[in-house]
């Protein structure tokens, strides 16, 4: 079961909105598919990210994948712990494995994302 | 098993699958003028006659000259064991193994190359080699743009002119800016990079600088203030690239000691004979924090399932077979056999031997300076050099030509190498290494004195009549 309070992309990123801040990471499904994550390349604070455009790269022992932003906004925080502990993406993808926080530009963009039920359906079919 | 190229029927089937009539249609996207014309070859001739003809052509090479030519390619003694090891058939596998872990021997040789160069340069990571020094330098400049997410790079005019040309080619294609930092005109720092100008350019806020490139020793043989340049560069949030000649690092401070983030250079000097057109060896190294930006192969050491030492290709996510168009480079190759040659040469000499090579070159160059000075020919610059320096010679091109007729290759005519630098209109760039003999130096000084004295014995010194001088 994925958390019901989050929104999801078809590319397996999640977003949690608290006030104007949107926290972004990848789902447990993505983490399992990737295998052991060894490196996460994230943008610097202050950079703008666009909805559905790449904002970083996640590298595991067997694959490299681009990260796609669920929403547009300016990066206000980056999870620095991932530099030394990329395995947090595997052990706690919805918690300590978060990647970036952006200042949400347009809340209407959330309407273009999947809710938990729709995302579970997507991964059940995968 | 039948082994042969495609039959006409094979080709027809492939063309039919592509919906094409002729092979030429595959090349329709290439402008007509850029396509190769048919090779116009002479009719076949017997192998023995061909060998004679080629031997005759090879005989026209002047190998007996007392040579003082360096300018980016340096002669060094290479013990016969280097070639002997290179000739072993085991090395002639794919230059980059594609089932790499099966080729433990090749991987070990690459790992040893990386380790030796890392020790010499004083940086953490060394790639498994690049095409040549110019290509490695251009890759270093591109690394600074990716790492800093900026588009502007500054390069000293005392970086080799060929390297700067390659930089311009790479940067034009990538839509990035490359700007040249001029040199100090005269005085104690004459011929080195103008640090005041560097500081001014770094301060231009509208387009922040990604990286700064200086060469050590520089193209004119002079020692640059690398530590100061690195400090200025870092203060502007940019990365510092040292373009180095590896043998010099046995006696000069290594890039890691003065804060370079990246080092690039030509590895030919590591016992590889100077050759027209190569193959040469591009060296590229960086700090650990830039490891994901470095292009090319990296080999690491690990343990296998039985706990035994094993070598593996590592961090391949940077590379084009994994990352396609997002790879750290799609225009890099490696030179494994040349990297092996450099490793064997370094191992054969050892750290003390390498220091001797560098120190002997410097000593020979000092002798050369004194011998030339005794003929009234002075250096063009006042600053410190290692084993190469520029001299002022009136009618440099004609004198260089006259000396060729007297058995001396008097270095490089700087007016040909850097025509955009009026300061070097009448100058030669000369170098000495441990293979330069006292006899060579005496010959150079004597013949130079004779040529400058207006002596025309040998009939070679007729400046007005030489085509090169007429064009000048």
Mean pLDDT over each residue of chain B, to the nearest integer: 92
The residue among B193, B158, B72, B70 whose CA lies nearest residue B418 is B158
pLDDT mean over A96-124: 94
Strands B262-266 and B66-67: unpaired
**Which of A34, A41, A54, A64 should be substituted to probe chain B, the one whose Cβ sees the most B Cβ atoms within 10 Å?**
A64
Nearest-neighbour CA in chain A from B317: distance (Å): 6
Q: What is the full DSSP assignment across A64-86?
A: EEEEE-SS-EEEEEE-THHHH-T
Taking only the tens place, the pLDDT of each residue in B129-151 is 999 999 999 999 999 999 998 99
Task: Give percent helix, percent strand, percent coil of chain B, each to the nearest 5.
Answer: 45, 15, 40
pLDDT mean over B65-85: 96
The residue among B261, B264, B199, B190 whose CA lies nearest residue B221 is B190
Q: pLDDT grade, residue B174 (50/70/90)?
A: confident
Residue A55 token pair? 């904002």
Q: Is A45 on the interface with B (CB under 8 A)?
A: no
Nearest-neighbour CA in chain B from A91: distance (Å): 22
Residue range(s) of every CATH 3.40.640.10 domain in chain B: 81-345
Q: What is the full DSSP assignment across B171-220?
A: HHHHT-EEEEEPBP-SSTTTTSB-HHHHHHHHH-TTS-EEEEEEEES-TT
Residue B220 token pair? 């004119």
B325 has a pLDDT exceeding 90: no
Element (H, E) at B389: strand B388-392
Taking only the tens place, the pLDDT of each residue in A13-26 is 999 999 999 999 99
User: Which residues are within 8 A (CB) of B373 and not within 5 positions of it... i.e. 6 or more apart?
Assistant: none
Tell me how crowded residue B375 is: count the other CB atoms within 10 A of its CB. Answer: 17
Distance CA(B243)–CA(B403), nearest Å, equals: 32
B chain contacts of residue A39, beta-carbon cutoff 8 Å: 292, 317
Q: pLDDT grade, residue B326 (50/70/90)?
A: confident
For B148, nearest residue in chain A (alpha carbons): A44
Q: What is the full DSSP assignment across B73-134?
A: -------HHHHHHHT-GGG-S-SS-SSGGG-HHHHHHHHHHHHHHHHHHT-SEE-S-BS-HH
Exposure string over B41-52, b if 16+ CB within 10 A, otherwise e: eeeeeeeeeeee
| Most confident option among B122-126, B456-460, B466-470 | B122-126
Q: Which residue carries 């010194």 as its tokens?
A: B461
A chain contacts of residue B322, beta-carbon cutoff 8 Å: 64
Residue range(s) of every CATH 3.90.1150.10 domain in chain B: 66-74+350-471
pLDDT in the model for residue A45: 92
pLDDT in the model for residue B463: 44
With the CA atoms of B241, B246, B250 and B252 taken in that order, what torsion angle do they form, in degrees rounded to the nearest 10? -40
Nearest-neighbour CA in chain B from A55: distance (Å): 13
B170 has a pLDDT exceeding 70: yes
B190 has a pLDDT exceeding 90: yes
Q: Cβ(B166)–Cβ(B135) under 8 Å?
A: yes
Q: Which DSSP letter does residue A44 get? A: P
Q: How big is the A-B interface in CB pairs under 8 Å?
A: 9
Q: Are A39 and B322 in contact (CB < 8 Å)?
A: no
pLDDT in the model for residue B1: 60
The residue among A5, A3, A49, A50 whose CA lies nearest residue A27 is A3
CA B364 vs CA A109, B70, B149: distances in Å: 72, 14, 45
Q: pLDDT grade, residue B159 (50/70/90)?
A: very high
CA A6 vs CA A13, A17, B30, B274: distances in Å: 10, 8, 51, 64
B469 has a pLDDT exceeding 80: no
pLDDT mean over A113-120: 95
Taking only the tens place, the pLDDT of each residue in B26-63 is 988 999 888 888 888 889 999 999 999 999 999 999 88
Residue B1 token pair? 């098993």
B chain contacts of residue A41, beta-carbon cutoff 8 Å: 292
Q: Cβ(A100)–Cβ(A12) under 8 Å?
A: no
> Closest partner residue to B292 among A41, A44, A66, by Cβ?
A41
B209 has a pLDDT exceeding 70: yes
Q: Using DSSP, how many helices (H) and how many strands (E) does chain B show?
A: 14, 14
Taking only the tens place, the pLDDT of each residue in B263-308 is 999 999 998 999 888 889 999 999 999 999 999 989 999 999 999 9
Distance CA(B147)–CA(B187), nearest Å, equals: 37
B365 has a pLDDT exceeding 60: yes
Q: Which range is least confidently modeled, A2-6, A83-87, B31-35?
A: B31-35
B chain contacts of residue A59, beta-carbon cutoff 8 Å: 317
- Residue window 56-85, chain A: list those with CB within 8 Å of chain B: 59, 64, 66
Q: Which domains does chain A have, with CATH numbers?
A: 7-115 (2.40.50.100)
Q: Which range is least confidently modeled, A70-74, B14-18, B467-471?
A: B467-471
pLDDT in the model for residue B471: 41
Q: Does domain B66-74+350-471 have CATH number 2.115.10.20?
A: no
Q: Are A64 and B317 in contact (CB < 8 Å)?
A: yes
By three-state DSSP, how is residue B137 classified? helix
B347 has a pLDDT exceeding 90: yes
pLDDT mean over A90-112: 95
Q: Are A44 and B322 in contact (CB < 8 Å)?
A: no
Nearest-neighbour CA in chain A from B151: distance (Å): 16
pLDDT in the model for residue B94: 53
pLDDT mean over A30-43: 93
Higher pLDDT, A67 or B93: A67
The residue among B90, B135, B122 whose CA lies nearest residue B340 is B90
A122 has a pLDDT exceeding 70: yes
pLDDT mean over B452-471: 49
Residue B379 token pair? 């250096």
B460 has a pLDDT exceeding 70: no
- Residue window 308-327, chain B: list those with CB within 8 Å of chain A: 317, 322-323, 326
CA B390 vs CA B63, B190, B268, B306, B408: distances in Å: 23, 11, 22, 58, 16
Q: What is the full DSSP assignment across B415-444?
A: HHH-TT-GGGTTEEEEE--TT--HHHHHHH
Q: Cβ(B427)–Cβ(B446) under 8 Å?
A: no
ipTM, interface predicted TM-score of the complex: 0.77
A chain contacts of residue B149, beta-carbon cutoff 8 Å: 44
Q: Is A5 on the interface with B (CB under 8 A)?
A: no
B65 has a pLDDT exceeding 50: yes
Domain range B81-345, its CATH number among 3.30.2140.20, 3.40.50.720, 3.20.20.70, 3.40.640.10: 3.40.640.10
CA angle B146, B150, B153 (to 5 degrees): 95
Q: pLDDT grade, residue B73 (50/70/90)?
A: very high
Cis peptide before B279 (omega within 30 of 0): yes
Backbone angles phi, psi at B186, to 5 degrees: -150, -170
Nearest-neighbour CA in chain B from A64: distance (Å): 6
Residue spans of alpha helices (H) in chain A: 28-34, 81-84, 88-91, 116-125
């Amino acid at each position: 079961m994925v958390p019901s309070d989050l929104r999801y992309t078809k590319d397996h990123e999640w977003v949690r909105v608290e006030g104007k801040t949107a926290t972004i990471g990848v789902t447990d499904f993505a983490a399992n598919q990737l295998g052991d994550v060894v490196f996460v390349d994230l943008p610097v604070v202050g950079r703008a990210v666009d909805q559905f455009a790449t904002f970083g790269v996640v590298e595991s022992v067997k694959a490299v994948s681009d990260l796609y932003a669920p929403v547009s906004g300016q990066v206000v925080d980056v999870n620095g712990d991932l530099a030394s502990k990329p395995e947090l993406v595997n052990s706690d993808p919805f918690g300590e494995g978060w990647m970036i926080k952006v200042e949400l530009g347009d809340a209407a963009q959330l309407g273009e994302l999947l809710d938990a039920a729709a995302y579970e359906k997507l991964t059940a079919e995968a | 098993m039948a082994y042969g190229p495609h039959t006409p029927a094979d080709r027809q089937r492939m063309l039919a699958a592509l919906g094409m009539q002729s092979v030429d249609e595959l090349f329709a996207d290439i402008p007509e003028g850029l396509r190769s014309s048919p090779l116009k070859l002479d009719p076949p001739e017997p192998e023995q006659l061909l060998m004679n003809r080629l031997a005759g052509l090879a005989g026209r090479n002047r190998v007996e000259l007392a040579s003082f030519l360096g300018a980016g390619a340096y002669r060094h003694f290479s013990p016969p064991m280097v070639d002997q090891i290179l000739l072993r058939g085991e090395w002639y596998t794919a230059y980059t193994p594609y089932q790499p872990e099966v080729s433990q021997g090749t991987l070990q040789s690459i790992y040893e190359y990386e380790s030796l160069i890392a020790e010499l340069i004083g940086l953490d990571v060394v790639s498994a080699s690049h095409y040549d020094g110019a290509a490695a330098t251009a890759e270093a400049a591109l690394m600074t743009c990716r790492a800093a997410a900026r588009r502007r790079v500054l390069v000293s005019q005392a970086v080799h002119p060929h390297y700067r040309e390659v930089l311009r080619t790479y940067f034009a294609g990538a839509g990035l800016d490359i700007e040249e930092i001029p040199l100090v005109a005269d005085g104690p720092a004459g011929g080195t990079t103008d640090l005041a100008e560097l500081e001014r350019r770094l301060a231009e806020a509208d387009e922040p600088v990604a990286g700064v490139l200086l060469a050590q020793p520089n193209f004119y043989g002079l020692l640059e203030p690398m530590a100061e340049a690195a400090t200025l560069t870092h203060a502007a949030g940019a990365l510092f690239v040292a373009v180095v000649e590896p043998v010099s690092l046995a006696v000069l401070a290594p890039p890691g000691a003065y804060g370079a983030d990246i080092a690039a250079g030509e590895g030919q000097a590591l016992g590889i004979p100077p050759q027209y057109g190569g193959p040469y060896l591009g060296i590229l190294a960086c700090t650990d924090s830039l490891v994901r930006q470095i292009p090319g192969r990296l080999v690491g050491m690990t343990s296998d399932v039985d706990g035994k030492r094993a070598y593996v290709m590592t961090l391949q996510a940077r590379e084009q077979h994994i990352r396609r168009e997002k790879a750290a480079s799609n225009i890099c190759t490696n030179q494994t056999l040349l990297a092996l040659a450099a490793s064997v040469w370094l191992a054969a000499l050892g750290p003390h031997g390498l220091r001797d090579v560098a120190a002997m070159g410097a000593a020979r160059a000092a002798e050369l300076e004194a011998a030339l000075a005794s003929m009234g020919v002075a250096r063009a610059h006042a600053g410190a050099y290692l084993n190469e320096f520029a001299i002022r010679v009136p009618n440099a091109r004609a004198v260089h030509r006259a000396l060729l007729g007297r058995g001396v290759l008097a270095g490089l005519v700087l007016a040909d190498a850097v025509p955009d630098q009026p300061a070097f209109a009448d100058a030669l760039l000369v170098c000495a290494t441990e293979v330069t003999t006292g006899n060579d130096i005496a010959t150079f000084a004597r013949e130079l004195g004779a040529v400058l004295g207006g002596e025309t014995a040998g009939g070679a010194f007729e400046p007005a009549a030489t085509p090169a001088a007429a064009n000048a």
